[in-house]
Structure 1
Amino acid sequence: MRWTGWAAAYVAGLAALVFAGAWVWWQPEPEARGTEANALWARHQWVGEPHSDAEYRALGKLLEENRITDVFFHAGPFEADGTVPPGKYRYARQLIEAVRKYAPGVRAQAYLGQVRVVDGHGVIDLDDAAVRERVLKTDAIFLDLGFDGIHYDFEPIYYDDRAFMTLMDRTRELTRSKGGLLSVALEQPTLADAAQPVYKALLPRSGALHYPPRPTEGFLRAVADRADQVAIMTYDVSLPTRSLAGWHFARHTRTTLELIGDRTTVFMGVPTYRPLMDWAEDLPVALRGIRRGIDDLKRPPKRPYGVGVYADWTTDPAEWARYRAAWPPPATESPAG
């Protein structure tokens, strides 16, 4: 019993040191300002429902005020066979015309994805070549409608997913041929690449208990070499304090930009919602953490970088005001990225 008590006290002491160290690290105000290369995930209603001219004009104003350069308009999800029923995007052309009129220069991308079949669980089977071909035909429909790019969000995607990489190769050929962009949303990278094979050996890839689909360094580089833009879904951190949550955003910002910031445009995902089981993560914490991560860079990346706001349907005017206060540089400054 005595040894148990000593062990508990030792663990508690280590935890206290971690919390205290994180709190001290979190106090200085970041020097880095935000950038003018930023993205927004937008709700499906923009392509699936009619909108008035005033609503489109308001959207354009919002994008301009908040320095949004890319909008991922939800246009799917894919059906299991790789198609999207036309009725789901019947107002896409009107949207594209409105974006060009009221937000010139903003790239409107078709946000498409689905739950990927893994070990027999999921919706869309990317291992099926016929399904991948229909996905490409669907992508072509959206590009022909006037979208500036294709934004993929298939989940889960593991570091050894060859079918996904094949789809990325073929999609890149398609978007290049039509003068469009290819962007992709990925989970936050693994903290230790060596842990992924261990997780794979010990845990299944589906069900309630499964190993996390975290990109390894090699996988992230390979995706970055195929994509024009990579958005890292950095949110849902589930850490107990604001300083630890901020450290999470700072760490992933620094490591991701160092790893692929010279290869592709990077958007670090930030939440404008409060996760159900997380009382420490919010938009100001995320933005401050990302700025701290930028401060830690030895040099800025060669490609543009910024944040991806998730999402327009959870961002109220007060959240946008907090975003503008913490992130975009003043209008007289040049972009940081």
Structure 2
Amino acid sequence: MARMGGFGGTGRGLLRRVSRWAGWTAAYALGLLALVSAGAWVWWQPEPKARGTEANALWARHQWVGEPHSDAEYRALGALLKQNRITDVYFHAGPFDGDGTVPPAKYRYARRLVEAVRRYAPGVRAQAYLGQVRKVDGGDGIDLDDPAVRERVLATDRIFLDLGFDGIHYDFEPIYPDDDAFLELMDRTRELTRSRGRLLSVSLEQPTLVDALQPVYKALLPRHGRFHYPPRPTRDFLNAVADRADQVAIMTYDVALPTRSLAGLHYARHTRWTLELIGDRTTVFIGVPTYRPVMGWADDLDVALRGVRRGLDQLDRPPARPYGVGVYAEWTTSPEEWARYRATWLPRTPDNFGG
């Protein structure tokens, strides 16, 4: 009995030490978070000096290609694009079916849309926004590893270019930084678009914070169905994409951070890092949101635009290629948000000064 009592005492002592260690660890983590938050808050206060640009993109809803619209609706769309200095619109024209095709019924009004954009917003490029969930380890979606599927994707691209679209905009998710099939598809698509004098653009997830973490994620979270490690582009992969694309749009939104200053720091960091890496070789659009965050975090248009401008402030020089923001999305942006976008982002001109 004495031995049992001694064992119990040892166990209770061990529990106390573990609890004490856990408490100190939690306190340290909370203290570090408080310091980071305080530093971000101080950094966030000065007004950004950089203004935005007149090269900007917009993701637009599928109804523009799939449903009829009146001339007045097309005219209003053209006015919105011109007023907000939108140079490229990614009109949702898919998604691809699993075999790499898009049923014609989904885009029956595409030609009418393209003609209307040329009439009411001359100079604005209408691109066919095409994508699908990437099949991962036998799950549902599109299998880009299959050469026959890639060939049908290219055949579908030709259809949209024949309809008059100014480019093809790919959004396949998830795309991992070892996805050679995706890069091969980009090579083939670039040959097609350049032979027609058109553009190839692509949406990508925000880059990794640390490239070396990708193998760790891969080991801990193997790809299986919907459970997989984050598909973040590494430095090498983003360079490879930039060498193949005329435009790269970074989906910087969906920021699960609790304060506006931390979310702004996120946008600033990705703006500076991406433009320094690929801004001399391809047009870059930093994605900013106008939808309502699901979890109520501090991610909104005002924070994103201010963060992007702070990132521009940190550049040693402007990129050689055009750059701007990509607004996600046309169907969630209110007139009030467009007014704030003009007031805080666009260069000061008599027709947009003050919104």
Q: TM-score, normalised by structure 1?
A: 0.97
TM alignment of 1:85-164, pairs within 5 A: 85-164=103-182
Kept in 1: contact 2:137–2:225 (CA 8 A): no
Runs ≥4 in structure 1, deviation > 6 angstroms? none
> Which residue matches 2:4?
none
Distance 1:74 1:208, change over 3 A: closer
Give 1:3 shift. 4.3
Give 1:6 shift. 3.4
Give 1:268 shift. 0.2
Corresponding residue SS for 2:131: strand
For residues 62-106 of structure 1, the C-alpha deviation after alignment (integer angstroms, 9 at most, x for no partner) is 001100000000000001111111111000111011000000000
Matched, 1:288 2:309: no
For residues 232-275 of structure 1, the C-alpha deviation after alignment (integer angstroms, 9 at most, x for no partner) is 00000100100000000000000000000001000000000121
TM alignment of 1:239-250, pairs within 5 A: 239-250=257-268
For residues 99-137 of structure 1, the C-alpha deviation after alignment (integer angstroms, 9 at most, x for no partner) is 000000000000000001111113110001000000000
Question: In 1, Cα distance between the equivalents of 2:99 and 2:178?
Answer: 23
Matched, 1:324 2:342: yes
Give 1:2 shift. 4.4
Kept in 2: contact 1:82–1:132 (CA 8 A): yes
> Which residue matches 1:31?
49
**From 74, 87, 90, the counterpart of 1:56:** 74
TM alignment of 1:146-185, pairs within 5 A: 146-185=164-203
Kept in 1: contact 2:239–2:277 (CA 8 A): yes
Question: In 1, Cα distance between the equivalents of 2:290 and 2:276?
Answer: 26
- Which range is displaced more, 119-128 or 260-269? 119-128
Corresponding residue SS for 2:113: helix
> Which residue matches 1:223?
241
**From 70, 73, 91, the counterpart of 1:73:** 91
Corresponding residue SS for 2:135: coil
Corresponding residue SS for 1:21: helix
Give 1:51 shift. 0.5
> Which residue matches 1:255?
273
Kept in 2: contact 1:71–1:108 (CA 8 A): yes
Equivalent pairs counted in the alignment come to 333
Question: In 1, Cα distance between the equivalents of 2:205 and 2:296?
Answer: 18
TM alignment of 1:194-209, pairs within 5 A: 194-209=212-227
Question: In 2, Cα distance between the equivalents of 1:252 and 1:328?
Answer: 20
For residues 9-54 of structure 1, the C-alpha deviation after alignment (integer angstroms, 9 at most, x for no partner) is 3222212111110100000000000000000000000000000000
Corresponding residue SS for 2:86: coil
Question: In 1, Cα distance between the equivalents of 2:237 and 2:33?
Answer: 33
Corresponding residue SS for 1:63: helix
Aligned Cα root-mean-square deviation (Å) = 1.2
Question: In 2, Cα distance between the equivalents of 1:59 and 1:204?
Answer: 44
Matched, 1:298 2:312: no
Letter in 2 for 1:38: N
**From 256, 271, 277, the counterpart of 2:295:** 277
Kept in 1: contact 2:255–2:297 (CA 8 A): no
Q: TM-score, normalised by structure 2?
A: 0.92
Q: Which entry has the higher C-alpha Rg, 1 or 2? A: 2
What is the aligned-residue identity percentage?
81
Corresponding residue SS for 1:165: helix
Structure 1: tracts of 5 or more residues without a match: none
Corresponding residue SS for 1:69: strand
> Which residue matches 1:84?
102
Question: In 1, Cα distance between the equivalents of 2:341 and 2:205?
Answer: 22
